[in-house]
Amino acid sequence: MFNLESFDIKLNTDYIGRNFIYTEEIDSTNSFLLDKENKYNSDGTIILAEKQIKGRGRKDRVWYSAKGLNLTFSILLTSKKIFTNKLNLINFATSLSIAVAFENLFQLKPELKWPNDVLINGKKVSGILLESTSKGSKIDRLVIGIGINVNQVMFQGVYAIPPTSLKAELSENIEREKLLAEFLNTFEEIVEKIKTNPDEILKDWKTRCRLIGEKILIEDGEKTKYGIFDDLDKDGFLLLNVKGKIEKIHLGDVSPV
């Protein structure tokens, strides 16, 4: 059971998480916040669910998460806080904030995998799914869906990257309330930098990405590409060196070769 009171005491944000919905069960927290009929419109609204029946991952994958053990939640950003021309940076700000929260609380050294996975010891501990709705040509709701494996230690099923959790890595039970508050406090700070100092987000993200400079394989459906992970461009797209020529990659799953 998630203790709302102990979470609230630790939350230091201005607007992120100030409107907080807690539910036992839902189809998907992302679907809920994307739905304009739900009546929740304020910037920074969060829904946290103990269980999702249809938790979604990137590329139509399923996000499996055992009931009551992890953190599966979504954050709503409405027009005022959406930096439409910098959407990609929200991905980086989110995964960076998760890594920083882990470092602050557990002295872990998480690794960031392009575009937005968080790994510990080469295994995936967290994933992010950004989705939006538009009014005309303008995005009016941006939903950042986040799954963090916290206290689950048994994983069944087929995974693109082997899963792990904080408990599996640290051999101790983790207080979800403290972790969520630490992440949200960090996220609110980092996401503001999209306006003031976007280069710093990318710089901090890159210092935690071990594959830069390495030979990689990028898979996007049927398409595969080999090359050297050269760098990220200013918008966060991957620059791949293929036989001396730089190609910009927008989508795909990256793995070392």
Which residues of the shown chain bind ligand BTN in the complex (CB under 6 A)?
Answer: 28-30, 52, 55-58, 61, 63, 72-74, 117, 127-129, 145-147
Shortest spacing between CB 180 and ligand BTN, in angstroms: 12
Name the CA radius of gyration of the chain, rounded. Answer: 18
Report, in Å, the least distance between residue 49 CB and ligand BTN.
7
Closest to ligand BTN by CB, 161 vs 239, is 161
CB 44 within 8 A of CB 75: yes
Given the complex with ligand BTN, which of 29 and 164 has the nearer CB atom?
29
Which is nearer to ligand BTN, 56 or 208 (by Cβ)?
Answer: 56
Least distance (Å) between residue 128 CB and ligand BTN: 6
Q: Closest approach of Cβ 62 to ligand BTN, in Å? A: 9
CB nearer to ligand BTN: pick between 166 and 228:
166
How far apart CA 30 and CA 191 sit, in angstroms, is 19
With both helix axes pointing from N to C terminus, report the angle between 87-106 and 198-206 in degrees, rounded to the nearest 10. Answer: 50
Distances from the Cα of 84 to the Cα of 88, 140, 176, 194, angstroms = 9, 10, 31, 11
* Strands annotated E in the chain: 20-26, 46-52, 71-78, 111-113, 117-120, 123-135, 138-148, 215-220, 223-232, 238-242, 245-249, 253-256
Instruction: Show the tokens assigned to 161.
Output: 């990257």
Phi-psi region of 236 (alpha: psi -120 to 50; beta: other; left: phi over 0): left
If DSSP codes are grouped into helix, strand and coil, which group holds residue 174?
coil
Closer residue to ligand BTN, CB minimum distance, 91 or 228: 91
CB of 26 to ligand BTN, least distance (A): 9
Residue in the shown chain whose Cβ atom is closest to ligand BTN: 127
Which tokens sit at 104?
């602050």
**Nearer to ligand BTN by C-beta: 127 or 227?**
127
- Both structure tokens of 172: 């101790």
Least separation in angstroms between residue 2's CB and ligand BTN is 14
